[in-house]
Amino acid sequence: MLVSDLGEQGLLKLIQPYCLPNSIGDDGAIVRVPPEQELVVTTDVLVDRVHFSDQTTSPFDVGWRSVAANLSDLAAMGAKPLGITVGLSLPPELPVVWLEQLYAGMQACLTQYGTGIIGGDLTRSSVITIAITALGAVKSDQGIRRSTARGGDAIVVTGNHGSSYAGLQLLLNPELGADLTERDRDFLIAAHQRPQPRLDVLPILDELRQSVSQVIPISGMDSSDGLADAIVQICRASGVGAILDRSAISINPSLTQMLPDTALESALYGGEDFELVLCLPKPIAAQLVDRLNLGAAIIGTITQELEILVVDDINRSSPIDLDLKSGFQHFH
């Protein structure tokens, strides 16, 4: 059965079970923001053959990834999710089972993080386009922004980088994984197909805030467009620079085994790892890393100088200048 066989009303009936109860059916959703909190809104658009393809991503995983990207943006702002809306443009010849699996993937990811679909829209087009808007809430003085990093802050990553890129390469070129164990191959592929937005970091940050008597300034963003991109964006927005320790950058050993000559480049520019990159005072940063899972690390320091370098040691031998030219580009 095709989308055109159901028509708009039939599609809406099909989609309704995947939405939160009593959340759709009106012209808009009514969302209650908790007292003394502010609303955070973020939108991502995914396009077939630009952000996903049937060669590397099942419709279930397209649904999961599209939701994960938005929840990761909320996490990067320090916000807990309240719900999402889903706008879809679909070719009439699309099989209905593809749409069902898309929503099943969305629902699976949303349920894991205690939220759901509260609205959306449908229309016809020649290419599949998924536009998701996520709503979240953050306490008024606890929003995480890119523009507040300060000289002396430690730079923390919440996990490994390059794993999603490695998983994509395995899907496109399975022979690259010939020397990996099945478990390692599956891990890397899952990192690409079903990324985990780091909303789990927020309760830990809350506890660390409560353990001190002063407001903890935290700057950051997620690494969906690459670790290098995140650091450069934070530094530009904050008017600072950074020195990164090459040996401290968290890279999955399987990536190093698979791509030994380009593992660091993959970690810096591969993208879609959906980890958080946070800049905060060093004592708090050390406590945060201790509380997080394997792969979390302090990888460098924010500086007053505007240069952004990856170095081998404190003598800055063989420095690498970070830039935005090597990462994912939407219009290339």
Q: 172-220, pLDDT tens digit by residue?
A: 999 999 999 999 999 999 999 999 999 999 999 999 998 887 788 899 9
- pLDDT for 211 equals 87
Check whether residue 68 and residue 117 sit in a common domain: yes
81, β-bridge pairs:
136
Check whether residue 124 and residue 183 sit in a common domain: no
Check whether residue 54 and residue 163 sit in a common domain: no
| Rounded Cα gap, residues 114 and 83, in angstroms | 9
Q: Given 106, 123, 139, which residue is the final one in a domain?
A: 139
Edge-to-edge strand list for the sheet holding 80-90: 37-47, 129-139, 80-90, 117-124
SS (H, E, C) 88-141: EEECCCCEHHHHHHHHHHHHHHHHHCCCCEEEEEEEECCCCEEEEEEEEEEECC
Q: Given 85, 105, 139, which residue is the final one in a domain?
A: 139
Check whether residue 173 and residue 132 sit in a common domain: no
- pLDDT for 331 equals 43
Domain-located, residue 277: yes
Check whether residue 120 and residue 189 sit in a common domain: no
Residues of the chain with pLDDT under 50: 331-332
Q: Which domain holds residue 51?
A: 3-139
Residues 6+ apart with CB under 8 A from 9: none
Task: Indicate the pTM of the whole model.
Answer: 0.93
Residues 6+ apart with CB under 8 A from 224: 69, 72, 73, 271, 272, 273, 274
Domain-located, residue 330: no
**Would you call 93 exposed, middle or buried from its count of C-beta atoms within 10 A (0-12, 13-18, 19+)?**
exposed
Domain-located, residue 257: yes
| Rounded Cα gap, residues 264 and 44, in angstroms | 27
Check whether residue 191 and residue 305 sit in a common domain: yes
- pLDDT for 316 equals 58
- From the list 210, 18, 206, 216, the residue with the least C-alpha distance to 117 is 18
Q: How far is CA 126 from CA 4, 44, 68, 100, 137, in A?
A: 13, 19, 25, 19, 35
Check whether residue 197 and residue 217 sit in a common domain: yes
Q: How many domains does the chain have?
A: 2
- pLDDT for 313 equals 65
Grouping H, G, I as helix, E, B as strand and the rest as coil, residue 291 is helix
Check whether residue 114 and residue 174 sit in a common domain: no
Find the CATH number of the domain harbouring 42: 3.30.1330.10
C-beta separation of 80 from 144 below 8 A: no
| Rounded Cα gap, residues 277 and 296, in angstroms | 10
Check whether residue 78 and residue 122 sit in a common domain: yes
Q: What is the DSSP letter of 52?
A: B
Domain-located, residue 112: yes
Check whether residue 13 and residue 52 sit in a common domain: yes
Place of tokens 């399975």: 174
Find the CATH number of the domain harbouring 210: 3.90.650.10
| Rounded Cα gap, residues 270 and 55, in angstroms | 19
- pLDDT for 325 equals 62
Domain-located, residue 326: no
156, β-bridge pairs:
278, 298
Q: Given 139, 169, 194, which residue is the final one in a domain?
A: 139
Q: Are strands 219-222 and 117-124 parallel, antiparallel or unpaired?
A: unpaired
